[in-house]
Structure 1
Amino acid sequence: MNFTSPESLIFWTTIIFILFFILLSKFAWKPILGAVKGREDSINKALASADAARLEMQSLNEENQRILQEARVERDAMLKEAREIKEKMIADSKLEAQVQGAKMIEQAKMAIENEKNAAMAEIKTQVSSLSLDIAEKLLKAELSNKDSQTQLVEKMLDDVKLN
């Protein structure tokens, strides 16, 4: 056998290849295929996890948007309520101020009326006192002589007859 002839070279190459293929299939092929299958499985799991994470992120984003919307609605409601409370407080304060002002005006009017009545009573007292003083002086002056007294009595009698 000549190892250098092309037929023997093909023969031995084929034998070596078959032996190499048998050895590879017996010892290396299953572990290589197992490793490739494991790698494929881990890639598929990673892709599934990525899809699940993407879906979860999308769900979380939607939840965040919903929560933000609810927070905005709640904030708007709180601001509206605060404005209403402020307006009510202002209106109540104005009303109370008007009521207090009206009370103060009424009290001032009553005080003025009381002062006016007191002043009028004082004036009446003074006028009556002055009138009595004047009447007393006039009567003294008139009744100091006899003729004046007689004239006064006659005049009074004439007044009485006329009425």
Structure 2
Amino acid sequence: MLVVFLLLVFILRKFAWKPIIDGLNDREREIQSALDLAEETRAEMAKMKSDNEKLIAEANAARDKIIRDAKEASERMILEAKDKAIAEGQRMIESARETIHNEQHAAIAKMKEEVATLSLKIAEKVLHRELSDRSSQEKLIADLASSARLN
């Protein structure tokens, strides 16, 4: 019985246990390789997560800078437009004042011209009425002649 047992152990060892142990060793190596790969993947995922967070932080910073620059540019454009509008308004007011001043002078000159024309017409009518008879004309000539000698 001992010989049969030893023979069975020898046969099993030679033909069964070695392939079973080799299969178990192969399976252990595969499991260890899968665990190592999972650990590497986990580490890589952690690194990618930190890289993504860094990229998101950089993108947020860039976005904030762009928004800040855009706000500054819009404020600067508003101030420039306001200054330009004020300058244009002042120029228009000055132009209007100058136009009013010129119109005033033109109106005064026209009024003087019309007053002179009207005065001449009135004087002409007064003289015409006063000099309608011959004795009035002679008296006016005498008065003018005497005053001309005095001057």
TM-score, normalised via structure 1 length:
0.75
Distance (Å, rounded) in 1 between the aligned partners of 2:141 and 2:15: 171
Q: Which residue of 2 aligns with 1:47?
A: 35
**1:96 equivalent among 84, 103, 110:** 84
Letter in 2 for 1:104: M
Higher radius of gyration, 1 or 2: 1
Distance (Å, rounded) in 2 between the aligned partners of 1:134 and 1:147: 17
Distance (Å, rounded) in 2 between the aligned partners of 1:29 and 1:116: 126
Distance 1:87 1:23, change over 3 A: same
Query: Deviation of residue 38 (structure 1)?
Result: 0.6
Question: CA-atom RMSD, angstroms?
Answer: 2.7
**1:29 equivalent among 17, 24, 33:** 17
The 5-angstrom pairing of residues 51-130 of structure 1 reads 51-130=39-118
Query: Deviation of residue 79 (structure 1)?
Result: 0.7
Query: Deviation of residue 95 (structure 1)?
Result: 1.9
Letter in 1 for 2:48: L
Distance (Å, rounded) in 2 between the aligned partners of 1:113 and 1:152: 45
Query: Deviation of residue 144 (structure 1)?
Result: 4.3
Stretches of structure 2 that go unaligned for 5 or more consecutive residues are none
Letter in 2 for 1:50: A
TM-score, normalised via structure 2 length:
0.80
Stretches of structure 1 that go unaligned for 5 or more consecutive residues are 1-11
| Identical counterparts, % of pairs | 37
The number of aligned residues is 146
Distance 1:147 1:130, change over 3 A: closer
Q: Which residue of 2 aligns with 1:146?
A: 139
